[in-house]
């Protein structure tokens, strides 16, 4: 087995968010309005630092009493649009995963001592085997999601690489934050892909039920004594 490199430990500005689980490779647009986060982003831009995105476990996003999860993803800022009143719109991209060893509150914004949380076993035969089973399920899922949402969703060519595929599925699936966070915390790519295979099957069943039920309701509402349900 490949030996892991020693974990890199550093101090990082942290941004707890209520409704976002950031994955490597994921694009994250954010509107920054709280003064403490403006200060944090200014520092990250000036020093070319990443900031860590963590899903909030409990508490509020605005106001500062949030308790976040301890596994997150570093975000690198790629675009900043500043407004006259000091607010800003930024675009960041997910990079490496990390785990928080200790939170610090000596700045106006949250910081933490974090260690790199490496993604392992992406190049194994097991990862390739599960990826081979995940691809057709993902295609099926996107087709079913198109039918359920009545929108034309399109998949670009699926990645050959198991690691890229695992994160693409995690980003693309319409899941609750608890499911997404659990995926992010899995250490190995085979574990992540196996979990995604289960989640794709579960969501396909739910979406199929939604599509069938919608068709039944529409059929019932089109009769001579029925009425068209409002959209």
Q: Per DSSP, what are the bridge partners of residue 188?
A: 120
- 18, 61 in Cβ contact below 8 A? yes
- Give the pLDDT of residue 113: 97
Look up residue 18 and give its two tokens.
């209520």
Query: CA 55 to CA 93: how far, in whole Å?
Result: 16
Query: CA 109 to CA 61: how far, in whole Å?
Result: 12
- Give the pLDDT of residue 194: 98
The sign of the torsion formed by the CA atoms of 32, 36, 42, 48 equals negative
Residues in the chain predicted with pLDDT less than 50, given as ranges, are 1-6, 223-231
- Give the pLDDT of residue 134: 97
Query: CA 196 to CA 168: how far, in whole Å?
Result: 11
Q: Phi, psi at residue 119, to the nearest 5°?
A: -95, 120
- Give the pLDDT of residue 185: 97
- Give the pLDDT of residue 6: 46
Q: Which residue has the tokens 């976002």?
A: 20
């Amino acid at each position: 087995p490949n030996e892991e490199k020693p974990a890199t430990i550093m101090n990082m500005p942290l941004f707890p968010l209520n409704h976002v689980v950031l994955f490597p490779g994921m694009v994250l647009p954010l509107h920054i309005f709280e003064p403490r986060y403006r200060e944090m982003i200014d520092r990250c831009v000036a020093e070319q630092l990443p900031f860590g995105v963590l899903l909030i476990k409990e508490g509020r996003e605005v106001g500062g009493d949030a308790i976040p999860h301890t596994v997150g993803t570093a975000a690198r800022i790629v675009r900043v649009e500043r407004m006259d009143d000091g607010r800003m719109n930024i675009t960041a991209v997910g990079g490496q995963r990390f785990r928080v060893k200790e939170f610090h509150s000596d700045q106006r914004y949250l910081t933490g001592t974090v260690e790199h949380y490496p993604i392992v076993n992406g190049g194994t035969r097991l990862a390739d085997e599960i990826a081979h089973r995940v691809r057709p399920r993902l295609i099926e899922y996107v087709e079913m999601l198109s039918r359920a949402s009545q929108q034309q969703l399109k998949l670009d060519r699926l990645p050959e690489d198991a690691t890229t595929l695992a994160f693409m599925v995690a980003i693309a699936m319409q899941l609750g934050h608890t499911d997404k966070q659990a995926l992010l915390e899995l250490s190995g790519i085979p574990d992540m892909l196996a979990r995604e295979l289960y989640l794709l099957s579960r969501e396909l069943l739910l979406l199929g039920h939604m599509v069938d039920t919608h068709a039944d309701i529409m059929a019932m509402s089109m009769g001579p004594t029925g009425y068209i349900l409002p959209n």
